Structure 1
C-alpha cells in the first residue's frame, strides 16, 4: 500500500445531527447556547460526529449575546460516555453575531477548560476541542492534543442533498463555494479526498475524471489484476500490463502522475471486505462504489455510514430477450444512486438483499449447489469474456461524477432531493429519477461509528481476526 503524507484535520457531521445542533444553539432569543459533540475517528486526520449532548439553557449560569457559562457536570457526563470508545469531546457554542472565528473570550475559556478535560480523560492520545456555529449553520472547529497544542480543523463536511463544506477565512467569514465547472472549482477540489472502490471498467473512468477534475488526493482500492480481456474497457491499461498481471490500482498510480504533479494517490490491492481496506477508505471525504458484487456494495454501504461519507454507487447492465434464432439486446441500462449518511441506504433501496448476499457467497464457496450464477456479467444470459461496453461505461461513469458535481457545486434547476437515484435506458431514450422520499429508511446503527470496534459493526473485521 502506498504511504500517506500528513493531512489537514477534517470533521464530518450527519444531516440529522447538524439539524439538532442548529435548532438547539439558535433558539431565537439572540443569546449563546452550548452543546457537547462526541466524535469518533475515521482516519488519523478525520473525525466524525458520533453523539450530541445538549446543554440545557436553564443549567447555564450565564447566557448573553457574546458569552456563555455552563456547568462542569455536563462535561463530566460527556467524558464518561467518551471513555468507552476513546471518543473526542468537542465543546460547541453559538455565535449569534455571525463571527465564524474564535473570540478572545473563547480562547480564555479553552485555556481554562481544556486542561481539566484532559486531566479527566484516561487516554493521552485522544484529542479534544472546541467549535462554534453561526446562524446559517456553518461550523468552525479546532482540536487540542495532550500538550494543549492547537490544530485548526481545516474543513467541516455535511453530506445532505447538497455536499456542504465549511471553511473559515482568517477574517472570520465563510469561504464561498466556487461555481460549477470553473477553474476555481478545480482549485477547490484540491482540498478533497475521493475514495474509489473498484478500478475496472466503470471505476477506471470515474478515477480518470476525478484526477483530471482536480481532486488533491485519491484512494484506490481493488484486488484484481489487468488481463488481456480487460484491455478494451480499462483506461490507461496496456498490453504490457496484461502480460505482467499489473494490479489495476498500480496502473493508475503510475498513470496519474504523468499529467498531475500536485496529487497524492494511495492504492491498496485488496478486497474492500478487508480490515486494511476499510481503514484506508475512512480517510476519504467522498466514496465512489464501482464494484460488481453484492458484498462489495454492502461493505461500501457500511463504510459510508460509519465514516459519514456521501456515497455514489454506479452500475450498468444489458438485459437480453429471446428472438427466433437466438438472443437480442432488450435494453441498455445504467443506474446511479446517491446515498447521504442517515438517509436510505443501498440496502433500503434493494440494491442488495440478504438472499442475494447468501447466493453470492454460495457461488464462491460451493458453486455446484446453485443452478444459476448470481453475477452474470454485463450482458445477461450471454457469456462474454471481453464485452465491448466502454461506451456504456463512459455514459454511466460520467453520470456518476456529474452527480457529485451537481451536489458539491449546485447547478440544477430542480432540487437535488429529487435525484437520489437516476436510471437511464438507452434503448428507450429515457431517464427516470427517484427522490429520497421514494425509499423507506430504517434507523442506521452504523452511523458515525468511525473506527469503533468491531469495524462497521461486523465481527469479522475485529482486531483479533485481523491479527491472526
Structure 2
C-alpha cells in the first residue's frame, strides 16, 4: 500500500538538522520545520524552511526531555502564517529511541495547542535518532495525532523512513539492494516516468518489473510505425490505431502486475495536470528529448523535494568522403538532488538553448536546424536502430536509483552525480556533486504555491497567478 501522508526533506536540510540536533553532548536539541503542502489525493508536506532553536535558549535540555522556548514557537508562527505553512516541531532522541515517548506526548499537549491558536488545520511533531532516521506525526485541530506514513530524504543517498510498525520496528536495518526486501519497499513507493518512448519505455518497464507500487506514465504522444523498433510493449495494432503511448504501456503493465499499478497521464509535462501528477511521486525519471521538458522536470524536483534521474543518449557523426560515419555513441545519466546542482546548473540546458529550441519548434526555417532534434546528430533518421544504446543508458539510470536508495557501492554516492559513457571509446566517466557550480534556486521547496513552479502559464485557472 502506498503511503497516504509523506514528509519530504532535502539532503542539505537533513545534514544541517543532524549537525544541530546532535552537538555531541548527549542531550536533546530542537528545530522547527515549516512545510508547504502538495495537492492530493496524497497529502505531502515539503520542508520549505528550517528554524534551528539555539541550545542555550532551551531552559531544559536532558537526555530524554527538552523544553521548547516560546519565542521560537512565535517566530515559527510569524514565518509560516502568511502562507499557511504546516509547523512540525522536531527534536532529537540521543538514546536512539525510534518512537515517541510519554514525555514527548506530554510536551506536545503543551506546545501543539499554541500553534492551532495562531492558525492552521494541521501541525505536527517529529523525532530524529543519531543515525538520522526521522519519524513524524500530525495533529488535527482536535489534537488527535496520526502517524506520518513516510518520511523521505533525497540527498547523496535516498532514505525512506516508515511510520508503521511493519517497517519502523528495526529502522537501523534497511532493505538490501537486489533482494526481496527491496521489492517489498518499492511496492509502497511511486515512480514517475516522464516520456515513455525510447529510453522512457525501458525505464517504465524496469520500474514496473522491479515492483514499484505505482508507476505514473507522462507522455502526450501516440504510437507510430517508425518507433515500434525502440518502444517496449507496443505492437503494430497500436501504431495502426495511433494509440497513446501511455495507454498502450499501461495496458501492458496491467497484464503482468494487475490493475492500478500504471497510471497513464496523456499530457505534456509542461501542463498543469502533468506537473500535479508528477508531484504525487517519490522519484522522478526524466526520459525526454526536449530541453523544455527537462527544465520542467528540474523545477518539479526542486519544488517538491523529489530525487530526479535524467537520462539522455546521442550519436554524433562525422563527415567522410562518401557521406557520414558514426563518431561515437554516448549516454549521460544525471542524478539531481533537491538543493543540489540542477540540470540547468550542469548546462544540460540554458536560457539560450531553451530559446533556440522554442524558435526551432515554432518556426523551423532551415533543414540544418532540424538535424539537431534526433538521436543521430547531423543525419535524418526516421527509425533509428538505437534500442541497444537506450537499454544501456536506461539500465544505468535505474541502477543509479538503486545505488542511492539501497547503497551498495564501494565508494560514497556523492562521487556519482553524473555518469557519462562512450561506447566507441569503451569508457565511463563519473562526476562529483561538488564539480558543478550551484546557483540559487527560486523554486526550492516551493510546493504547490501559485503560480505552480513559479510559471504564470501553470497558474490555477481564474487565480491570475496569485495564491
**Matching residue within 442, 450, 456 for 1:445:** 442
The unaligned stretches of length 5 or more in structure 1 are: none
Distance 2:137 2:261 in 1: 25
What are the superposed Cα offsets for residues 50-79 of structure 1, whole Å, 9 maximum, x if unpaired? 101122223222222111112333222212
Question: Which residue of structure 1 aligns with residue 331 of structure 2?
Answer: 334
Give the 4+ runs in structure 1 shifted more than 3 A. 168-173, 464-468
Distance 1:274 1:330 in 2: 37
Give matches, 1:37-186, under 5 Å: 37-44=33-40, 45-121=43-119, 123-124=120-121, 127-167=122-162, 170=165, 173-174=170-171, 176-186=173-183
Distance 1:336 1:186 in 2: 23
The unaligned stretches of length 5 or more in structure 2 are: none
**Matching residue within 433, 436, 451 for 2:433:** 436
Aligned to 2:377, the other structure's residue is in SS state coil
Q: Give the TM-score of the pair, scaled to structure 2.
A: 0.94
Question: Which residue of structure 1 aligns with residue 315 of structure 2?
Answer: 318
Q: Which moved more, 1:398-407 or 1:259-268?
A: 259-268
Instruction: State the 1:321 CA deviation.
Output: 0.9
Instruction: State the 1:458 CA deviation.
Output: 2.0
- Cα 1:6/1:173, change in 2 over 3 Å: closer
Give matches, 1:201-350, under 5 Å: 201-261=198-258, 264-350=261-347
Instruction: State the 1:188 CA deviation.
Output: 1.5
Aligned to 1:165, the other structure's residue is in SS state strand
- Cα 1:70/1:361, change in 2 over 3 Å: same
Q: Give the TM-score of the pair, scaled to structure 1.
A: 0.94
Distance 1:74 1:388 in 2: 61
Instruction: State the 1:414 CA deviation.
Output: 2.5
Correspondence 1:394 to 2:378: no
What are the superposed Cα offsets for residues 362-416 of structure 1, whole Å, 9 maximum, x if unpaired? 1122222896237420111211111111111111111111111111111222322
Number of aligned pairs?
Answer: 461
Q: What's the Cα RMSD here?
A: 2.0
Aligned to 2:268, the other structure's residue is in SS state coil
- Cα 1:270/1:169, change in 2 over 3 Å: closer
Native 8 Å contact 2:3 2:149 kept in 1: no
- Cα 1:6/1:23, change in 2 over 3 Å: closer
Instruction: State the 1:320 CA deviation.
Output: 0.7
Distance 2:415 2:259 in 1: 36
Aligned to 1:111, the other structure's residue is in SS state helix
Distance 1:298 1:218 in 2: 21
Native 8 Å contact 1:99 1:172 kept in 2: no
What are the superposed Cα offsets for residues 420-460 of structure 1, whole Å, 9 maximum, x if unpaired? 11111111211111111221112222211111222212222
Q: Which moved more, 1:258-267 or 1:211-220?
A: 258-267
